[in-house]
A and B are shown apart, each in its own frame.
Chain A
Amino acid sequence: MAIVETRNLTKVFKEGQPGAVNNVSLQTREGEFLVFLGPSGSGKTTLLRMIAGLEQPTAGEILIGGAVVNHLPPRERRIAMVFQSYALYPHLTVFKNIAFPLKAQKVKKELHQQKVDWAASLLGIGKLLNRKPRELSGGERQRVALARAIVREPTVFLLDEPLSNLDAKLRAAAREELEEFQKRIGTTTIYVTHDQVEAMAMGDRVVVLHQGIVRQIGTPKEVYDDPADTFVATFLGSPPMNLLEAKDVIVGFRPERFLPSELLTPGGEQAAKNFQPQSVLVADVKDPLKRIPLRFRVEIVEYLGAERILYGYLAGTRFEKKLVYSRIPSSVLVNYEANSVHDFAVPESELRFFDPATEKRIAPKAFQWQ
């Protein structure tokens, strides 16, 4: 297994147009599952394809295992790739599909059977070896694609949204299988997706990309709890982080932290009673008990089974017109109805502050709620 590194990697498709990938520098860790996360057009697939050698960078370097590989064709980079559509060769049997890389790399014919069997057993598709791709289900095809990828024992795995063609129920199971698979073989893996749930569930670290630029690299916890800018803050988490914009600062808090005051601490009602609504906040993040009380006028309630999402407005604040979300676990047995007003609160330590001009995260700052 090897470390993949990019240095100032840039790809411009059309002169004069902004680049698809702009000056991206990153480095994987050995054996890690690294996720490239971003919306469509963020450059994540282009980045992956450059690492694979399917696109030529406009500037910058790509290193695999410490060596610069910019001018090497894909087949000399010791990588394997699983495409979104799996790209199985339709005219070949599963066996021949998996054996194809061996044939192409001129591995001795006698060894083919043994290696294919090994790859097939790793993925549990031994019974399918004589079938053709068109006879397989979506999940089976994915496993064949993985077997074909692993049969050469590559140093890096590249996966381009392999789960997006599966239907929702299958996706969860396939995701689990993939995670398990990667842990077992331990090869450095780069995984591209636009689905933040997938990214958080599977990734050891997540690279959040937007418009070809890396916004943040970090563990799922880091990108979720400590977003580097407003893009990362709103891209991760569903519903997204609530953002309130003032002239010189943007304040954000996650819907699942915006809860009825009674829930937040024992004796919370007491603290709420002592609070003066007009006072200016001086944030003290070290005190976990400090919370901002807010009157929440609920407009819409969405019942999702395990939780409820409440859509509403912060009554009595200067942000009355801004729609905010709250996420309440269904273990809370209180009934919330449309057009009712309740006492909610946000722990001060959960507030995140951003600079309106740069959109980047800044230290806590004075903030007017009224």
Chain B
Amino acid sequence: MVQGRGREILGKLVHWSIVVAFSVLLAFPFYWMLITSFKRTGDLYNLKNNPFVFNEKPTLEHLQLLFHDTLYLRWISNTAFVGALVVLITLLLSVPAAYGLARLTGRWGQRLGIGIFLTYLVPPTLLFLPLARLVAILGLQDSLWSLVLVYPSFTIPFSTWLLMGFFKSIPPELEDAAMVDGLTRFGAFLKLVIPISISGILTVTIFTFTLVTQEFVYALTFISSESRQMVGVGVPIFLVRGDVYYWGSLMAACLITSLPIALLYNLFLDRFIAGFTVGAVK
């Protein structure tokens, strides 16, 4: 009896240690970004100082530099611009596609769905060279429009697959009832299915947007001028003068960009998992 209780406590201890260890390991860099953003330069680059504490008072100088002396805000607006357009294009194309594949096409539609998903696995690092050339031929080099054009190549497959899962979880009887009541199939889609799936569509919107902000290879390849760059490339590449990294501002930029995305992501994660498992388990 005592042995049972002892083992229970040990088990809880081990469980907690694992959870804490992983949490620290995974979240530490962001904590580090936080501290670095607010440390005075003198404190930051002084090897004798304990880096875990503020040896001098915290400062906003890095943030000021970031917002006033760099193109950080420009990059953010570029990213927002591209993100919004890509989300629009993606929704316009993948919502009907997902519905068509989920409901209307039987077995080969299923296969096409998997096929679409597989294109998500074709890596940018294979396509970026030919695409660079195509972009040059179209005259879109160094323009955000090249990204608007190319990004749906991975956001559409991903969104279609996710939405297929969501649509499948809606009982088909609902649409049947609507059609008996007088709507056409397409009408039922517009007036019934889409409103019901708003949360799924919202989830797809958020995830598409985060995919855009996380992208690196295409932005690095197609865009060369600093003022037209996206935040994911601008921050690690351009917050450097000569050979010197402006670590304070760099870390601030990383943190400020990552946190809102993380918050949004977490809000929608459960719905994502629901759609994901429906799609997988079919």
List the interface of chain A (C-beta within 8 A of B): 71, 73
B130 at the interface (CB under 8 A from A): no
With both chains docked as a complex, state the minimum distance between the C-beta of B259 and any C-beta of chain A, in angstroms. 36
A326 to B257, CA, bound (A): 75
List the interface of chain B (C-beta within 8 A of A): 1, 4
A71 to B1, CA, bound (A): 6
What are 3 A-B pairs at a CB distance below 8 A? Answer: A71-B1, A71-B4, A73-B4
Q: Which residue of B lies closest to A70 (CB)?
A: B1
Chain B residues near A71 (CB, 8 Å)?
Answer: 1, 4
With both chains docked as a complex, state the minimum distance between the C-beta of A73 and any C-beta of chain B, in angstroms. 8
Q: Which residue of B lies closest to A72 (CB)?
A: B4
A168 to B49, CA, bound (A): 78
A71 to B4, CA, bound (A): 8
Grouping DSSP codes into helix (H, G, I), strand (E, B) and loop, the A interface class, with mixed when no group exceeds half, is: loop
With both chains docked as a complex, state the minimum distance between the C-beta of B4 and any C-beta of chain A, in angstroms. 6
Q: Which residue of A lies closest to B3 (CB)?
A: A71
Chain A residues near B4 (CB, 8 Å)?
Answer: 71, 73
Per CB-CB distance, the 3 closest pairs between chain A and chain B, nearest first, are: A71-B1, A71-B4, A73-B4
With both chains docked as a complex, state the minimum distance between the C-beta of B281 and any C-beta of chain A, in angstroms. 14
With both chains docked as a complex, state the minimum distance between the C-beta of B1 and any C-beta of chain A, in angstroms. 5
With both chains docked as a complex, state the minimum distance between the C-beta of A77 and any C-beta of chain B, in angstroms. 14
A73 to B3, CA, bound (A): 12
Q: Which residue of A lies closest to B4 (CB)?
A: A71
A73 to B4, CA, bound (A): 9
A48 to B121, CA, bound (A): 50
With both chains docked as a complex, state the minimum distance between the C-beta of B13 and any C-beta of chain A, in angstroms. 20
Q: Which residue of A lies closest to B2 (CB)?
A: A71
With both chains docked as a complex, state the minimum distance between the C-beta of A134 and any C-beta of chain B, in angstroms. 14
Chain B residues near A73 (CB, 8 Å)?
Answer: 4
A71 to B2, CA, bound (A): 10
With both chains docked as a complex, state the minimum distance between the C-beta of A75 and any C-beta of chain B, in angstroms. 13
Chain A residues near B1 (CB, 8 Å)?
Answer: 71
With both chains docked as a complex, state the minimum distance between the C-beta of A92 and any C-beta of chain B, in angstroms. 21
With both chains docked as a complex, state the minimum distance between the C-beta of A15 and any C-beta of chain B, in angstroms. 21
A2 to B54, CA, bound (A): 69
A298 to B145, CA, bound (A): 81
A298 to B1, CA, bound (A): 65
With both chains docked as a complex, state the minimum distance between the C-beta of B5 and any C-beta of chain A, in angstroms. 9
With both chains docked as a complex, state the minimum distance between the C-beta of B2 and any C-beta of chain A, in angstroms. 10
A300 to B3, CA, bound (A): 66
Q: Which residue of B lies closest to A71 (CB)?
A: B1
With both chains docked as a complex, state the minimum distance between the C-beta of B29 and any C-beta of chain A, in angstroms. 39
A73 to B1, CA, bound (A): 10
With both chains docked as a complex, state the minimum distance between the C-beta of B235 and any C-beta of chain A, in angstroms. 47
Q: Which residue of B lies closest to A73 (CB)?
A: B4
Q: Which residue of A lies closest to B1 (CB)?
A: A71
With both chains docked as a complex, state the minimum distance between the C-beta of B7 and any C-beta of chain A, in angstroms. 10
With both chains docked as a complex, state the minimum distance between the C-beta of B282 and any C-beta of chain A, in angstroms. 16
A199 to B18, CA, bound (A): 48
Q: Which residue of A lies closest to B5 (CB)?
A: A71
With both chains docked as a complex, state the minimum distance between the C-beta of A298 and any C-beta of chain B, in angstroms. 38
With both chains docked as a complex, state the minimum distance between the C-beta of A84 and any C-beta of chain B, in angstroms. 21
With both chains docked as a complex, state the minimum distance between the C-beta of A239 and any C-beta of chain B, in angstroms. 32
